[in-house]
Chains A and B, each alone.
Chain A
Amino acid sequence: MSEQGETGETVTILLVEDDAPTCWRLQDALVKAGYEVRSAGTLAEARTALAEAAPRVLLTDLRLPDGHGVELIREVRQRFPDTEIMVISALGDEESVISAITVGATGYLLKDAFPTDIATTVRDLVAGHSPISASIARFIVRRTQGAAQSSAGATPGPALNTAKLTPREIDILWGIAKGFSYAEIASHLGLSRQTVPGHIKNIYRKLEVHTRSEAVFEAVQQGLIKL
């Protein structure tokens, strides 16, 4: 059994994780689900693997022996725009997930997730559905409130620009934060159930800061920097 993408090819995954048991566990679950998995334990190994071929999906831990996963995500995002990126997190806390999202990740995977859930999450991701947890949604919506309340952002946690989010997207995030399912959110907001994952992907895309110049532009737009 082989998991295939839209083009019918086998979905390739690059798994970057320095802890061997965790790596085996994830790799087993993904291989069992039919994916083609290459694994790397360090940034250097990951770069070597990327030089050979672009993976369809990149799963990476953030703390790596020779650097930070954020660098890798940023590189992959720029070199291979079609690659889906997920961050592997032990706790799914906003500190790691949000910083990954801002450089281009579109989802996260818990290290202790059940094998079936691991496979399901990756499949959804390849299908264009980004997973989002209630605590991450909560962090984002609270940050939108915080930005509205005070521009002198003394809020803790990673920097996050929520200015581009539409009210509808913020409503969806509120729904997720309060534990409602996609179907419930869709019915509350008068949406089609299928459109909700697309909105979430959009949210991820909007939270991404593409380049340094764009970051400066946005800071100026929001009045954070005065020229």
Chain B
Amino acid sequence: MSEIAAKAPTRPRRRLIVSRLVPYLLLQALIVIATILGLRLLQPSDPEDFALSQFSLREDGVTRPVTLPHFTSSRYSLADPPLYTGAFTFRSADAGAGWSVYLPRFSNAVEVAVNGVVVLDSRRDANANRPDRNTPQIAVIPASLLRDGSNEITVRLFVWGPLKGFLDTVYVGPDAALRPSYETRTLLFVTLQVAFSAWQSILAVILAIMWLMRRREPVYGVLAVAMVLGVIQAFIPPPVPPAAISRLAAVLLASAPTESALIVAFGVLFFGWRWPRYGMLLFAPGLIVFVVGLIAGPPLPRILFLVLGIPTVGICLFLMACVTATAVVRRQDAASFTIGCAVTIVLTCWVHDMLSVFEIVTNERIFVSRLSYSAMLVAIGAGLTWRFARALNQVDSFAGQLVTRVHEAEERLKASFAREEERARAAALANERTRLMRDLHDGLGGQLVSIVALSERGHEGASITDAARAALKDLRLVIDSMDDIGGDLMLALGSWRERATAQLRPHDIALDWRVATPQGVPLHPELRPWHVIQIVRILDEAVTNAVKHAQARNIAVTIETLDGAQGPYGVISVTDDGCGFARAENGEAAGASQTARGLRNMRSRAARCGAMLDLSSDAQGTQVRLQLPQVFPDSDAAGG
């Protein structure tokens, strides 16, 4: 069961891989064929009318006739180089302009003499010394040297191993006939290479900057390093063996395998895979060549380069081809296709060069891998820059989208905020209604009911009047407490003083009002109407008790601010000179129970406001001391 389940997705997946890989491989085969054809077609043509191919070669003391192009054995000594001697015919009648000698391809360096006089020494041209470039040479033969009839030409071929020496057909003829061919080769193998290198250096700078700004993407940095190495390799002239600056030579030799390893690293990173730890092994050949180059003198590094470096390049190219093929199968996108095709071209060129080196195919020893590699790098660099620009565009459009989204979210937030506010307002209104109801129930409601009860029992006069007055007073208190007093309790106490004075005037009781501190009680920004009502009702109760039950003649209200440990707090005291509630208890039972209820009420009201209520009473009078909290409680916790 589980096997079937495991196999089921595998088969379509394999089919998918095959269906994607086969067309890709066919395409790569086509590209290989196209590349080979292209290389054949692009082979620069030479002016065959002026070819000199029959030479006699004196090598190691032995003279033998040879036909150019000709390979000589590899050697590491510049002493006693192979000497090619040939002859050409010059007719002064034909020579309108000067004659030249043109060497399309040789390695590693030549010294050309006509009639025993040296006319060309390629060792002085740094570019011409590079075996990886197919630099041609041309030299005008001074007219004075040329004799009518047969002339002798000798070519010394300097070879520094490990590659074999090579001398292509030599051309001698009118400068006008040879020059175009020379120019074509120069353009293809020298100027184009320089142009690519220049381009590469610019891209290296751009990519390096990208990497510096975006450290998270090492892919740019890797490619930049590869390009920098390429540029160094291209522009630093390799030392000519006699002037053996072997260390520099080692650096230059190490560049090719290192570069190719970097390109593989780039490929892996570019397609979003992790760079495996053992991947560092790829850099080993370059490192070995470099270290050996630093330690040992020539020719060891060059041999090492041939044995180690060039295969590394091939392996890297092959790995890169595998990486891109996998990417093509997995991603099926333009980038992997393009890079894959480019790698195939470079790989074909490398194989072409290898076949050429080992003389497996007849050739003119034209190396194209370096050129194709530079072209590939430039293509990749341009592609990356394009991708970067596209990412920027995406960021732009993303920013645009973000602005829109943020705007939308803001609108939604506003709407929900408005809804929330509406809800909060409704809740506040409901709370306020509940509070008002409770306040009216506590005061006005009870008093009105008591008026109804009194009038039903046929009471006349004073008791109904008192109840009605109390009801009116309470109504005023409720209305008054709803006013915004900005946290200044003194404003509420001011109104209360007025009402209390009016209440006491018929009883002929004086209300002594003492504000001990200038500001009275501290400001309480958190003060709410229901706090004010509780406080005022406590004071009312105290005054009512003093008048009704204690028969007081003088009532004093003292308002002061005291300094406590946590800051200032307000204290309101109501003191009377009545008989106190101890005596009242002995006196009349009804009054006592009423007083007791009043006291309980006062305590619970004080508790709801977070205030402390102290009562002291004796025959000389009563003191009600209300100590306000530092901060009034937010919710009516004890209420209910």
Contacts and interface: CB of A to CB of B under 8 A. Distances in A.
- Asked if A pairs with B, the answer is yes
Nearest to B494: A179
B274 interface: no
Interface stretch (A26-34, A44-52, A100-108, A132-140): A132-140
Given A135-B498, A179-B490, 9 more contacts: A91-B472, A93-B479, A112-B468, A114-B502, A138-B483, A138-B485, A138-B494, A178-B490, A179-B493
Interface string B487-510: 010110111111000100110000
Q: How large is the interface on B (under 10, 10 to 19, 20 to 34, 35 or more residues)?
A: 20 to 34
B513 A139 contact: no
A133 B21 CA distance: 98
A117 B496 contact: no
A181 interface: yes
Interface in B499-552: 502, 505-506, 513, 515, 520
B486 A179 contact: no
Q: Among B468, B476, B513, B520, find the residue whose CB has the most chain A CB atoms closer than 10 A.
A: B476
B484 interface: yes
B494 A113 contact: no
A176 B498 CA distance: 10
Contact of A133 (B469, B484, B495, B520): B495
Which residue of B475, B485, B494 has the most chain A CB atoms within 10 A of its CB atom?
B494
Nearest to B557: A179
Interface string A165-178: 00000000000111
Interface of A: 90-94, 112-114, 116-117, 133-135, 137-139, 142, 176-181
A134 B498 CA distance: 7
B496 A114 contact: no
Interface centre among A176, A178, A180 (most CB of B within 10 A): A178
Contact of A176 (B483, B494, B506): B494
Interface of B: 468-469, 472, 475-476, 479-480, 483-486, 488, 490-491, 493-498, 502, 505-506, 513, 515, 520
A135 B502 contact: no
B506 A133 contact: no
A112 B485 CA distance: 26
B520 A178 contact: yes
Given A138-B485, A139-B483, A178 B494 contact: yes
Q: Give the most central of A93, A135, A142: most B CB within 10 Å.
A: A135
Contacts of A134: 491, 494-495, 497-498
Contacts of A177: 491, 494
Contact of A178 (B468, B491, B502): B491
Nearest to A137: B494
Nearest to A141: B491
Contacts of B475: 91
Given A178-B490, A179-B490, A138 B495 contact: yes
Contacts of A94: 483
Contacts of A178: 488, 490-491, 493-494, 515, 520
